Copies of this chain bind each other. A is one copy, B any other.
Amino acid sequence: MNDVKTPGTPRKTRRQFDREAALNTAMELFWRHGYEATSMSRLLKALKLTAPSLYMAFGNKEHLFQEAVKHYNQKHGAKVLAPLNSATTAREAIEQVLYNSADLVASGKNPNGCLVSFGAINSADQKAPPPTFLKLIRKGVFNKFHERLQTAVAAGELPKSTDIARLARFYQGTMGAIQLLSLDGATPTELRAVAQDALKAWPGK
């Protein structure tokens, strides 16, 4: 009657490599060279995998990139932005975010710069999935800054006349400046100074 095979017990994976470790290495390569300049052959060599294994596990290059970026956000991005939720004042929150950013992008333990900002900046097609995906994430970061500043106004930390969007843009821009300067060899100390200078533009006082 029912010729359709029932799915049966889902089979456990027999993958022989560490998916997390592979994602880590892929993230590192994309971070350092960007999406298009990171070739599959380079990835395969670094991950010590054969092509079918990688395609089986991640689909294709675009999807691997997406997963690598998500991994980046979980492992690094979230830590950098954490003060937006934990610091007591908006000013301290942004100060700490900028410091975190300076440390992340110029520590020497990771590639310099930022995967989200620069990961697909040189793209043959700016409307292709990788650039679009990153742009969306950057928009989300802007929104996080924006919301924190709104909260600050509501709490009386900032005057109600404050141009929130403008301020959010300025400090997201400062983050970008820090990331960009790190590519030319600026040290964490120098980048913290950039953050401090930018904080002199904080409203009021």
Contacts and interface: CB of A to CB of B under 8 A. Distances in A.
A190 B42 CA distance: 40
Contacts of A44: none
A197 B193 contact: no
A177 B173 contact: yes
Contacts of A170: 193-194, 197-198
A193 B167 CA distance: 9
A21 interface: no
A166 B36 CA distance: 34
A186 B169 contact: yes
A126 B37 CA distance: 11
A118 B184 CA distance: 12
Given A135-B184, A184-B139, A190-B166, A37 B124 contact: yes
